[in-house]
A and B are shown apart, each in its own frame.
Chain A
Amino acid sequence: GDSVTQMEGPVTLSEEAFLTINCTYTATGYPSLFWYVQYPGEGLQLLLKATKADDKGSNKGFEATYRKETTSFHLEKGSVQVSDSAVYFCALSSTGANSKLTFGKGITLSVRP
């Protein structure tokens, strides 16, 4: 079945540091890939997505490229801020009329001033 694997956390960075959060997936066909973010005590918000190979999703300075050859969708940001502290989830949605989201376990990012 479909699965998403995220790097182990938590991750702690200083403000303005470079961020990479790894995400790899297993799926049949050509899934869509998503990054969601969850701030403390809240629901999830879509951060970015990509629906086909080589697409790059971007939002709020975050980027991720859909790499089919390595089945990866790594999240990057050039300079993190304290306000980026949150839990980040990678997810995939298989193609088809009855598709569902499959989530990774999430990783907690803490950014210190």
Chain B
Amino acid sequence: DGGITQSPKYLFRKEGQNVTLSCEQNLNHDAMYWYRQDPGQGLRLIYYSQIVNDFQKGDIAEGYSVSREKKESFPLTVTSAQKNPTAFYLCASSIGTGGTETQYFGPGTRLLVL
């Protein structure tokens, strides 16, 4: 079955620690996205990538980093510079970024700070 997988489902971060969230898709989509979801605030775009080896900052990129070395994978690192990382993180992909394409979402990773 085609889809998007995210791991782990829950992740705990200690103060000053970097953590990496995994996102893999087997839909053969060119574009991938990372969103942060906080209660009552909808989804906010962190980073997106239209093609391998290229990515762009979204609306709230500070304290985060990404890589896109393979078409199927778009890992997100939450760095120690992100002072309020507790949130639900969602990865998505789409065929392209032309405006009419549907984004398909993974099941999410909940990040908690110890």
Contact = CB atoms under 8 A, between A and B. Distances in A.
Contacts of A46: 102-104
Interface string A21-42: 0000000000110101000011
A43 B50 contact: no
B107 interface: yes
B64 interface: no
A105 interface: yes
Interface residues of A, number: 26
B2 interface: no
B100 A93 contact: yes
A42 B107 CA distance: 5
Given A103-B42, A105-B42, A97 B97 contact: yes
Interface string B70-107: 00000000000000000000101000011111111111
A103 B108 contact: no
Contacts of A89: 42-43
B53 interface: no
Nearest to B90: A43
Given A44-B90, A100-B45, A104-B42, A32 B97 contact: no
A49 B103 CA distance: 11
A89 B90 CA distance: 14
A98 interface: yes
Interface in A96-112: 96-101, 103-106
Q: Which of B4, B41, B102 has the most CB of A within 10 A?
A: B102
A66 B37 CA distance: 26
13 contacts: A32-B99, A43-B90, A43-B108, A49-B102, A51-B100, A89-B43, A93-B99, A96-B98, A98-B97, A99-B97, A103-B42, A104-B42, A106-B40
Interface of B: 4, 6, 33, 40-45, 48, 50, 56, 58, 90, 92, 97-108
Interface of A: 31-32, 34, 36, 41-46, 49, 51, 89, 93-101, 103-106
